[in-house]
């Protein structure tokens, strides 16, 4: 696919040397964020050479993608071991590439477990490194973990206010930009979506979001589909929709047949129109829950990793968190029901979703709380702020 044309910012000074920026993203969501940032970098630096480790979004944006780990992204200690060798080989190849290329700047995007090793390598070799969507040490890490992040970066772009306060307490190379999703989450045409899918007055639309990682599709999709099936049997007039990427379409289609769930598949690009049209949603914990929050969609959140990974996190790593859902973490209180590990059963998820569909007062209260979460994410313009900061750095 051809790269999209990029408008150049008026009055931008042309640099004498063609700069090289290398972006490192290892997950589907990180690839999306990196591509959005790449577009804005090209807005300020039309001659920039963009290299990357990433996926389809960065390729479409015109970056030269040398490595792609998005199909291997996973969460959990035991789960990572299954992909350790190919991930380690990719790290070694990336290391050689970065040391040979010596880019003017490397921008790390999320993907903490991998990217912190990259950051250390870059710092040791005096290659400038910025972190965009930084490690969540402020959320469930440690003070020592935060110190490692600041020691191995030249700038940290913070996207949450609590995160900004945490990192600014450790160093002075922190810049609060707000959350980039405020720029990204924009429905295209909700009335057209309603017409195209022939959604009738009185029908209630529910979005199902089973994840973007293979392990999530395998472990959590059956849970979500079983819960939706229970709701469909008890609540008439509900229509389920599932946004899908090309790579998982057949797997999701087969799962719907297996669980005898009547749900309609739609292109992943239509997910924001679906969210805006939904009366409620059922989603795994992750970026999607903030997207739903921005569009004020009442939701039920679930997540589960392998029992071994959960034991390692709790017992050995001493990770203690009150909440796993990002809306609840940002609000610092439970405003959205969440079910994790043994608590995540089809019956409990179905009961909560059914209550949301039948309790407009509860839904309105949740929407009000989600509006508060949205305000805490800052103002739109995060991507542009980061791109302008990168431009200023390369110009200096």
Read off the pLDDT band of 10 (50, 70, 90). Answer: low
Give the whole-number percent of the chain exceeding pLDDT 70: 89
Q: How far apart are CA 105 and CA 20, in angstroms?
A: 7
Answer for the pair 73, 28: CB distance below 8 angstroms, yes or no.
Answer: yes
Span 332-338, average pLDDT: 95
The three-state secondary structure class of 296 is coil
Pairing assessment for the beta strands 338-340 and 299-303 based on DSSP bridges: parallel
pLDDT for position 323 = 78
Span 273-282, average pLDDT: 98
Q: How far apart are CA 146 and CA 138, in angstroms?
A: 7
Q: In this model, does residue 7 exceed pLDDT 70?
A: no
How far lies 197's CA from each of 82, 144, 163, in Å?
40, 51, 40
pLDDT for position 84 = 78
Task: Output 15 or 133, whichever has higher pLDDT.
Answer: 133
Span 321-336, average pLDDT: 89
Level-2 CATH architecture, domain 20-178+381-395: 3-Layer(aba) Sandwich (3.40)
Span 70-82, average pLDDT: 62
Here the tokens at position 136 are: 């969540």
In this predicted model, what pLDDT tens digit does every residue of 348-390 receive, in sequence order? 999 999 999 999 999 999 999 999 999 999 999 999 999 999 9
Span 308-320, average pLDDT: 51
Task: Output 64 or 14, whichever has higher pLDDT.
Answer: 64
The H or E element containing residue 28 is helix 28-44
Here the tokens at position 130 are: 């910025």
Q: In this model, does residue 226 exceed pLDDT 60?
A: yes
Read off the pLDDT band of 74 (50, 70, 90). Answer: low
Span 155-182, average pLDDT: 96
Give the whole-number percent of the chain exceeding pLDDT 90: 73
* DSSP-assigned letter for residue 247: G
For the chain, give every residue range classified as CATH 3.40.50.2000. 20-178+381-395, 190-376
The pTM of this model reads: 0.88
Level-2 CATH architecture, domain 190-376: 3-Layer(aba) Sandwich (3.40)
Least Cα distance to 327 among 358, 368, 273 occurs for 368
């Amino acid at each position: 696919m051809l790269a999209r044309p990029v408008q150049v910012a008026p009055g931008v000074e042309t640099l004498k040397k063609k700069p090289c920026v290398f972006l490192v993203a290892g997950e589907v969501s990180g690839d999306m964020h990196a591509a959005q940032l790449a577009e804005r970098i090209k807005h300020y630096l039309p001659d920039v050479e963009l290299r990357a480790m990433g996926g389809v979004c960065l390729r479409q944006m015109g970056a030269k993608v040398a490595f792609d780990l998005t199909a291997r992204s996973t969460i959990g200690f035991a789960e990572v071991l299954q992909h350790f060798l190919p991930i380690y080989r990719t790290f070694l190849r990336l290391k050689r590439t970065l040391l040979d290329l010596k880019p003017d700047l490397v921008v790390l995007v999320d993907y903490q477990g991998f990217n912190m090793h990259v950051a250390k390598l870059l710092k040791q070799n005096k290659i400038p490194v910025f972190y965009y969507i930084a490690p969540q040490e402020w959320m469930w890490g440690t003070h020592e973990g935060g110190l490692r992040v600041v020691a191995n970066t030249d700038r940290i772009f913070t996207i949450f206010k609590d995160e900004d306060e945490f990192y600014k307490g450790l160093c002075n190379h922190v810049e609060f930009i707000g959350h980039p999703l405020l720029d990204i989450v924009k429905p295209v045409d909700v009335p057209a979506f309603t017409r195209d899918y022939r959604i009738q007055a009185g029908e209630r639309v529910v979005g199902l979001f089973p994840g973007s990682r293979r392990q999530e599709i395998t472990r959590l999709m059956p849970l979500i589909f079983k819960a939706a099936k229970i709701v469909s049997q008890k609540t008439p007039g509900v229509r389920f929709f599932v946004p899908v990427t090309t790579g998982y379409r057949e797997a999701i289609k087969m799962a719907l047949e297996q669980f005898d769930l009547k749900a309609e598949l739609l292109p992943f690009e239509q997910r924001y129109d679906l969210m805006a049209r939904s009366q409620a949603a059922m989603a795994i914990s992750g970026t999607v829950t903030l997207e739903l929050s921005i569009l004020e969609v009442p939701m039920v959140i679930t997540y589960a990793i392998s029992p071994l990974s959960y034991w390692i996190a709790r017992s050995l790593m001493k990770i203690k968190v009150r909440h796993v859902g990002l809306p609840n973490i940002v609000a610092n209180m439970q405003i959205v029901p969440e079910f994790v590990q043994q608590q995540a059963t089809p019956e409990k998820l179905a009961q909560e979703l059914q209550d949301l569909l039948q309790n407009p007062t509860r839904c309105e209260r949740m929407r009000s709380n989600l509006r508060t979460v949205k305000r805490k994410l800052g103002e739109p313009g995060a991507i542009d702020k980061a791109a302008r900061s990168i431009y200023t750095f390369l110009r200096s």
